[in-house]
């Protein structure tokens, strides 16, 4: 095979990111299963020594009970496990009188652990090894990937006159499915399966090709079934971590983050669905946010590897490659998030309280949020590109909300509620106080907002991207 060194293989652009609304990217909590215990207040995680811990359980006549709890947890779905994080910690708390009646849990864990390390709460902004807050390249690339999927689906629809997502995949997915789920994790599982399907169909079904000495096209590195990352088109796009967020006091602030939900009379059900501000988390709804302040901008780099891009042969793939250079990426981001911005604005304007048509408290509830959209919509022509990253995206982005027909958006949303919740949603009210059946009207029915003194002020996650000059290199470090 020929060894060809491609000139100007890497096209790179430095991009400036300036927040338009508070951005939160969680430092993340450890993936606590059994045998690992996270103490939220101390922000530490302990890895238990299995032999010493087992002996302690035997001495306390809790070994069989512990094994039973582990077996129950293993059988849970992924979504159910996410709702029951830190199960070992919960077990220890519930059986503290038998396990450590004369000491505290911190001392008990120190005596039985093989190791311990720092594990910050999820409300803290993600930090690098030097302790500086930054935005990971993976977060930015994830937002870009969603936009690229949307662009490729739209291009496919235009060329083939078929709507792959709605008429092929989702129609098949929901055919014959019961409208009432067996558990509230069904919606999460539906979104996860859809994301996997889009990655496989849109990004991964490509052949990597090269020419041999006789200029014949040959195929190599074909992915094995279930291991499509080898042929994932997004390998051609590289995104660096951002520069650290500048050390100015007002750039990182703790904000009160709550969820606004559509009005519903179910105040005593298994999940409160009344339209009000609900705490984001039971333990703490404060989130450290990157704020639009004095010197809020940071930079990162986007690179296209044109050798990898050239190696993808899409002749056998239904989905066209929609980018060849960074200018294409810029247009794709702008088109997708402009659409998302408009849909989100419409949600607040049409579905929550309209100023002047409800009582004064409801006017104040949403007035500042609408002002945010009005202000930034007016300046849209002056902005090169907008993007949304971090906390607050929810169903709106994770399921390509703007590409899905309303009937499927509603079905995915409803799969996350019990029958009682669905029945109560049928007796809801809109922002004008009129009775309405939310089940057949809108999805999603909740959004994250920043609050101050009990009043919603801003949405989350919006930033402006300003693309700089383009450079070309034969290689990158």
- The token pair at 163 is 């709507």
Q: Average the pLDDT over each of 65-74, 113-122, 203-212, 278-287 and give the range with the smallest value.
A: 278-287
pLDDT reading at 304 higher than 90? yes
Q: Give the rounded distance of the alpha carbon of 268 from its chain centre.
A: 29
Report the pLDDT value the prediction gives residue 268, as an integer from 0 to 100: 40
Report the pLDDT value the prediction gives residue 197, as an integer from 0 to 100: 80
Instruction: Please write the tens of the pLDDT for every residue from 146-176.
Output: 999 999 999 999 988 999 999 988 888 887 6
pLDDT reading at 385 higher than 70? yes
Reduce the DSSP state of residue 464 to 3 states and report it. strand
User: Is residue 433 within 8 Å of residue 350, measured between CB atoms?
Assistant: no
Highest-confidence segment of 213-222, 258-267, 342-351, 380-389: 342-351
Please give the C-alpha separations between residue 235 and each of 54, 229, 312, in angstroms, as whole numbers. Answer: 45, 8, 11
Tally of residues, the chain: 477
**Which residues, 6 or more positions from 107, have their beta carbon under 8 angstroms from its beta carbon?**
100
**Which residues, 6 or more positions from 437, have their beta carbon under 8 angstroms from its beta carbon?**
425, 426, 427, 428
CA-to-CA distance for 77 and 428, rounded, in angstroms? Answer: 30
Report the pLDDT value the prediction gives residue 154, as an integer from 0 to 100: 93
- The token pair at 45 is 């995680």
Q: Average the pLDDT over each of 80-94, 117-131, 145-159, 370-384 and give the range with the smallest value.
A: 370-384
The residue with greater pLDDT, 182 or 347, is 347
Partnered with residue 232 across adjacent β-strands are: none
Q: Average the pLDDT over each of 123-137, 211-225, 402-416 and give the range with the smallest value.
A: 211-225
Report the pLDDT value the prediction gives residue 256, as an integer from 0 to 100: 86
pLDDT reading at 269 higher than 60? no
What is the CB neighbour count within 10 angstroms for residue 127? 14
CA-to-CA distance for 477 and 463, rounded, in angstroms? Answer: 28
Counting beta carbons within 10 angstroms of the beta carbon of residue 287, is it exposed (0 to 12), middle (13 to 18) or buried (19 or more)?
A: buried
Mean pLDDT for the stretch of residues 243-267: 74
Highest-confidence segment of 10-14, 216-220, 390-394, 472-476: 10-14
**Cis, bond preceding 210 (omega within 30 deg of 0):** no
pLDDT reading at 17 higher than 90? yes
Report the pLDDT value the prediction gives residue 265, as an integer from 0 to 100: 43
DSSP letters for 161-219: S--IIIIIIIHHHHTT--SS-SSTTHHHHHHHHHHHHHIIIIII--EEEEE-TTS-EEE
pLDDT reading at 229 higher than 60? no
pLDDT reading at 392 higher than 90? no
Report the pLDDT value the prediction gives residue 223, as an integer from 0 to 100: 44
Report the pLDDT value the prediction gives residue 244, as an integer from 0 to 100: 93
Please give the C-alpha separations between residue 283 and each of 118, 123, 182, 456, in angstroms, as whole numbers. Answer: 19, 10, 28, 20
Highest-confidence segment of 10-24, 236-250, 272-286: 10-24
Q: Domain segments of the chain: what residues?
A: 10-25+128-472, 36-118
The residue with greater pLDDT, 201 or 215, is 201
User: Is residue 257 within 8 Å of residue 285, measured between CB atoms?
Assistant: yes
pLDDT reading at 400 higher than 60? yes
Instruction: Please write the tens of the pLDDT for every residue from 32-62.
Output: 667 788 887 777 788 888 888 889 999 999 9
- The token pair at 33 is 């299963």
Instruction: Please write the tens of the pLDDT for every residue from 189-213.
Output: 777 777 778 877 787 655 555 566 6
Please give the C-alpha separations between residue 457 and each of 58, 363, 368, 454, in angstroms, as whole numbers. Answer: 54, 12, 5, 9
**Which residue has tokens 């055919």?**
175
Instruction: Please write the tens of the pLDDT for every residue from 338-384.
Output: 988 888 888 777 665 444 444 445 455 677 888 888 887 755 555 56
User: Is residue 73 within 8 Å of residue 90, measured between CB atoms?
Assistant: no
Report the pLDDT value the prediction gives residue 355, as an integer from 0 to 100: 41
DSSP category for residue 326 = H
CA-to-CA distance for 285 and 294, rounded, in angstroms? Answer: 25
Angle ∠(383,387,389) on CA atoms, nearest 5: 150
Report the pLDDT value the prediction gives residue 16, as an integer from 0 to 100: 95
């Amino acid at each position: 095979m020929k060894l060809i060194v491609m000139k100007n293989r890497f096209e790179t652009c430095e991009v400036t990111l300036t927040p338009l609304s508070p951005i939160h990217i969680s430092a993340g909590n450890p993936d606590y299963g059994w045998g690992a215990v996270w103490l939220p207040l101390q922000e530490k995680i302990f890895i238990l020594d299995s032999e010493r811990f087992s002996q302690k359980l035997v001495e306390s006549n809790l070994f069989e009970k512990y094994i039973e709890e582990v077996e129950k947890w293993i059988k849970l779905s992924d979504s159910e496990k996410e709702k029951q994080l830190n199960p070992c910690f919960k077990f220890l708390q519930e059986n503290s009188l038998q396990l450590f009646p004369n000491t505290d849990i911190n001392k008990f864990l120190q005596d039985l652990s093989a190791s311990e390390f720092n594990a910050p709460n999820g409300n803290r902004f993600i930090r690098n090894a030097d302790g500086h807050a930054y935005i990971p390249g993976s977060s930015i690339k994830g937002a870009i990937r969603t936009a690229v999927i949307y662009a490729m689906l739209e291009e496919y629809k235009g060329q083939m006159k078929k709507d792959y997502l709605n008429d092929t995949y989702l129609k098949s997915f929901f055919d014959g499915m019961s409208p009432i789920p067996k558990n509230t994790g069904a919606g999460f599982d539906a979104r996860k399966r859809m994301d996997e399907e889009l990655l496989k169909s849109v990004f991964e079904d490509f052949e990597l090709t090269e020419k041999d000495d006789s200029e014949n096209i040959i195929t190599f590195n074909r992915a094995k079934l279930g291991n499509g990352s080898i042929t994932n088109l997004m390998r051609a796009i590289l995104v660096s971590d951002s520069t650290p967020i500048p050390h100015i006091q007002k750039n990182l602030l703790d904000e009160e983050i709550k969820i606004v939900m559509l009005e519903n009379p179910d105040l005593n059900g298994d999940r409160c669905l009344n339209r009000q501000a609900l705490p984001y988390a039971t333990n703490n709804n404060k989130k450290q946010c990157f704020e639009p302040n004095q010197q809020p901008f940071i930079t990162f780099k986007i690179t296209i590897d044109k050798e990898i891009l050239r190696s993808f042969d899409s002749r056998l793939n239904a989905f066209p490659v929609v980018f060849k250079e960074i200018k294409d990426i810029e247009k794709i981001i702008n088109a997708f998030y402009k659409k998302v911005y408009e849909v989100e604005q419409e949600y607040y304007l049409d579905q929550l309280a309209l100023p002047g048509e409800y009582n004064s408290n409801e006017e104040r509830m949403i007035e500042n949020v609408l002002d945010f959209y009005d202000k930034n919509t007016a300046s849209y022509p002056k902005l090169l590109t907008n993007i949304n990253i971090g906390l607050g995206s929810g169903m709106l982005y994770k399921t390509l909300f703007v590409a899905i027909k309303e009937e499927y958006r509603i079905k995915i949303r409803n799969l996350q509620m019990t029958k009682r919740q669905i029945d109560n949603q049928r007796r809801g009210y809109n922002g004008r106080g009129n009775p309405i059946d939310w089940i057949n009207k809108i999805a999603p029915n909740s959004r994250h907002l920043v609050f101050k003194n009990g009043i919603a002020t801003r949405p989350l996650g919006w930033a402006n991207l300003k693309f700089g000059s383009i450079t070309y290199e034969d290689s990158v470090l």
